[in-house]
Amino acid sequence: MLEIKNLNIEFHDHLVPETVVHDLNLSVEQGEIVGLVGESGSGKSMTALAVAGLLRRHDMKKTGQILFEGQNLLECGRSELRKLQGSEISMIFQEPMTSLNPVRRIGWQVEEALKLHTELGKEERRARALEVLSQVELQDPERVYRAYPHELSGGMRQRVMIAAAIVCRPKLLIADEPTTALDVTIQAQIVRLLQKINRESRVAVLFISHDLSLVRQLCSRVAVMQNGYLVEAGNTEDIFRNPGEEYTRQLIAAIPKIERGGKEGNAT
């Protein structure tokens, strides 16, 4: 469904051009969850933004192809891209505290994609918004619908973001470190929620994270990036059992482990 072929992203805002993504090849099939991991600055977020169509600046050069159902997103016009954004491809961000418009009610924001991409009337939009708000397991969706962002907690806001992203039943959901800004218990809930949504509505998820333990839980396939290069890609379990590259091995070794009996061992 999504196929990235030989993607290069180059910045031209300094004297020397800087390439942040080199020759990337990656594909996402319908209904699967693919993890994209790597440390900060490895180019994973840039890849995500390019797929989402948010990298449209004059001071950068992009070559290669990003094919979404056969259509090259790098070459299609702005208005064609806008038709896809929100209806076929949507994205959730790292920072739920600032991703919602502070002066608009939650209901209004969840309905935005419906207003732009469907012909639904007011009542139908409201019904659909309430439906997704309860789908993302928010208690009392009626109250959330009328609330302003500052009245909600970080976890609730991230749920709202997910609701707004899936309201038009997209085929691809890009999640750019959606759990990084949340505490651990909420992280687990959000990951379970993404899993549930993926199961229920067959939406493919491109899950970007530096947290390998989350990726292992969630993704069927994983791609590892380092310094703009794709280091390794494949089945998640295969990669975790037999990492082919030194960098992947180091990343896996860096996952903190809870060791049983560690307390006694340390108390010497």
Partner 1 sequence: MKKKKNWNLIIGSLMTGCMILFMLLGLFYTPYDPEAMDASSKLAGISSAHLMGCDNFGRDILSRVLKGSGTTLFVAAGTVAIGTLVGIFIGALTGYYGGILDEVLMRIIDALFAFPSILLALVFISLIGPGKYNVIVALGIAFIPSFSRIVRSQFLYQKNMDYVSSAKLQGASAFRIMFVHILPNTLPVLSSSIMIGFNNAVLAEAGMSYLGIGVQPPDASLGRMLSEAQSYLVTAPGFALFPGLIIILMVLGFSLLAEGISHAGD
Q: Distance between CA 120 and CA 114 in Å, rounded?
A: 7
Looking at residue 151, the DSSP 8-state letter turns out to be G
User: Which residue among 72, 98, 235, 250 contacts partner 1 (CB under 8 A)?
Assistant: 98
User: Which residue among 20, 66, 100, 205 contacts partner 1 (CB under 8 A)?
Assistant: 100
Q: How many residues bind partner 1 (CB under 8 A)?
A: 28
99 sits near partner 1 (criterion: CB under 8 A): yes
Q: Give the side-chain half-sphere CA count within 13 A for 207.
A: 32
For partner 1, the closer CB: 172 or 224: 172
CA distances from 142 to 118, 160, 164, 267 (A): 22, 13, 15, 53
| Per-residue binder mask for partner 1 (CB under 8 A), 132-171, x = binder | -----------------------------x--x-------
Stretch that binds partner 1, among 1-9, 30-38, 79-87, 207-215 (CB under 8 A): 79-87
Residue 96 φ/ψ, nearest 5 degrees: -70, -20
Q: Distance between CA 144 and CA 138 in Å, rounded?
A: 8
Token duo for residue 161: 């973001």
User: Which residue among 5, 22, 82, 216 contacts partner 1 (CB under 8 A)?
Assistant: 82
List residues near partner 1 by CB under 8 A: 52-54, 58, 82-87, 89-91, 93, 95, 98-104, 112-113, 116-117, 161, 164
